Chains A and B, each alone.
Chain A
């Protein structure tokens, strides 16, 4: 691919500029594929990745889940425009309109009215897909049904469950048998254990904002949430996926996927919160894919972000180009810089824009968005609590977010929030601060305990989803 001249050098410079650990790239143009790798898959042992090293693709997994549903649709087993309750009656929403009318399409394009509610699966790391589906009805909507685009990982987990109830196989087995196998994606995995067993994988890192140091962090283990973001794959095998998409579903002459055009037909306007560049116009969400215009041509893509890993999977159907970028450092915009640079070169716009510098400059905005998403500590303004620690102890429950166990040990309060127990610091009155451990970072939150008519503590409120009122956990009667 002559157009790619200078690409690897630019990518190497961008990796140095961002200070991330390692990166693998596959660029597809027509029949040709170029594979590149940079930096380290293991920064401590200074091991370089190659085209076969497994990296998480994060939420780009959603396009595989969408493809699975399109396959079921082609087989006549699913009508993506029929109410989903026909297939999955246990999926109910708080909003009766959504319960009655929500379709697979609505879930695939994030318009059911539900906001992220990502803390649900953080607080319930072992939740099963079946339990996830059953928990949805207790989540308050933050927009009317179909009115607005609100990105939802939970809905993709429910779609994974939909595959299972229709087909009988697990989502993982369905995607492996029906998509990975015919695409010759033999090394791709659906969970961390299988990736580690494979041996050649990238360790996850987060770059310290202040010092710039790379810190090894735990892997994201998505479990029940896997259909929203758990796939790990190599640059080489992701190129197979890209080739299949560019040929509208066929691979090595065999028809594998269907509905590739439908999957990239925009459904909801979805402008980026993160950046606006005049080269990119009209971002919309389709079905498991984002669609926009890049320098006047259609760009279909999906980003991914998990603990210590970032990815961007993109293709341009009209021009026959595709690019996959995986970086083993979390919250990285290097994926966009690398992909846009590759596409620019393929389109004949080499060196017209320094995407590395442009996207690096947006990093602060990314941090601000991340901070806004996780919340900020409450400033102390009033008197400390008048209660003894033991008065707060107990088990508090929410029908979707599960249970929060508050314990008082030697006068020290702590609350079980997800994987670990977090110490509670009294801010003022009956309001306590705590940190939720997300693995790669901690998110500050508050626990605001509520007094019942009888004077005892009856509930605790946590602002776990900014788009709705604080989540109320009611105390079990003792």
Chain B
């Protein structure tokens, strides 16, 4: 079967790379405890014509969440942590703006996205050097909730940061050190590391790409150590095959039990219904988000998976536990659905239903539709620009330092128009009408509004950084316009997360 299987996978992978304009993809497949395929297809570096291999390192993004959840489950197994005890009992500094959530949120709530907090992703994306403790303990308590505690599933990266910080609180080791010692080392994941680690000369790193003007352009991925437990791991499919074997053996590797069966079982027990994509897949019935894993029924088979998506890399780790099948797909392209298409196609081959569905075209069509809808929504964000309605104040009157207790300090300054400096990221502000501007962050134009005080001065800037909240994020002016030149923020050269807490 092996050679025929390899050919089938190769054929689909190559077709997928072309259709979805992805430079390269690496795949590993584990069945009944054996790696039956570990291959790269396409290019790891377009400019150098370097072939993708099973040894190329790529960020796995949010597929890291299962490592964080597994780390927590290991502490459950050791009796150091109970999933249903409030986080505050272990880490009294933990807080959230909703007092009910603050006192009651448990590790289970953090790991299944039901605290009521929406993403607030632009906070960490625009603040790469925020220290983990500052983000977790000083900023998170000020972020607005968009749903009652435990009422719905809302994907949230920050809460995995909290879970990682909790692991540090209980073990005295940073999440990174804990993960390295307790998972990477025993599983022999020697090529796995974290986004802030310096490149290792021994390893091959795939170049990451993002589409720019219709062509693939090299890009850097995020590196925000503060939220590392939500997505910091980079790895190879060979290493990830070991992770699959460990999971398919329900927490054992090389016959060594790394955590108890009961603690492991929690990782795959659904906690809350979820909806990840705006479309439905006929062969899939969603079951629930467990802990760092999605659980669904695929063609009637139990499936456990989690994808990852960071700048320049899209990944998927997927298992059919009752068939003892695991698949990992890592790509070096920003935002694509080759991962889902390829994983489904490979699972179909192993379920004896090859070519039953054209997954490549199915997912690409859905993706195109999703992208079109999202572009439409983005276009609607700003609304109509009124003609001939200039700004009410001179540009330098808007300049100054503004602060929000959750999102931190930003600096507005005039230099060929207005600009905003968010933690070292400079974004131009485009004027719309009166005191309304817009700022483009990650290609999304976001409305910005300045507020005039009774005395006529500008007293606040509001930016719609979290669209699921009814109100924008309001930054109040922290210093008069004269201090425009002041430094925006202390910058931390060393990220806190790379040190022991």
Contacts and interface: CB of A to CB of B under 8 A. Distances in A.
Interface of A: 81, 97, 100-101, 103, 105-106, 111, 144-147, 265-269, 278-279, 281-282, 284, 293, 295-298
B272 to A, nearest CB: 7
A9 B104 CA distance: 55
Given A101-B148, A146-B114, A296-B300, 12 more contacts: A103-B151, A106-B151, A144-B104, A146-B151, A147-B106, A266-B273, A266-B286, A268-B272, A269-B272, A282-B270, A282-B288, A282-B295
B297 interface: yes
Nearest to A146: B150
A149 to B, nearest CB: 10
A144 B108 CA distance: 12
Contacts of A100: 100
A97 B287 contact: no
Contacts of A97: 100, 104, 149
Given A101-B148, A278-B322, A266 B288 contact: yes
Interface string B294-312: 0111011010000000000
A314 to B, nearest CB: 16
Interface residues on B, range: 20 to 34
Contacts of A106: 151
A281 B269 contact: no
A269 B269 contact: yes
A267 B285 CA distance: 14
A145 B101 CA distance: 11
Contacts of B272: 268-269
A144 B270 CA distance: 17
A101 B296 contact: no
Nearest to B322: A278
Interface of B: 84, 100, 104, 106, 108-109, 114, 148-151, 269-273, 283, 285-288, 295-297, 299-300, 302, 322
Given A265-B273, A278-B322, A296 B285 contact: yes
B288 A278 contact: no
Nearest to B289: A269
A278 B285 contact: no
A463 B151 CA distance: 31
28 contacts: A81-B151, A97-B100, A105-B151, A144-B84, A145-B100, A145-B149, A146-B151, A147-B84, A147-B150, A265-B273, A266-B273, A266-B288, A269-B271, A269-B273, A269-B287, A278-B300, A281-B285, A281-B300, A282-B285, A282-B288, A282-B295, A282-B296, A284-B273, A284-B287, A284-B288, A293-B287, A296-B285, A298-B285
Contacts of B296: 282
* In the A-B complex, the 7 residue pairs with the closest CB atoms: A282-B287, A146-B150, A293-B285, A281-B297, A296-B300, A269-B270, A266-B273
A281 B301 CA distance: 8
Contacts of A293: 285, 287, 297, 300
Contact of B297 (A268, A269, A282): A282
A103 B322 CA distance: 38
B104 to A, nearest CB: 6
A281 B273 contact: no
B288 A269 contact: yes
B282 to A, nearest CB: 8
B103 to A, nearest CB: 9
Contacts of B109: 147
Which of A145, A278, A282 has the largest count of B CB atoms less than 10 A from its CB? A282
B383 to A, nearest CB: 28
A144 B87 CA distance: 14
B348 to A, nearest CB: 13
Nearest to B103: A97
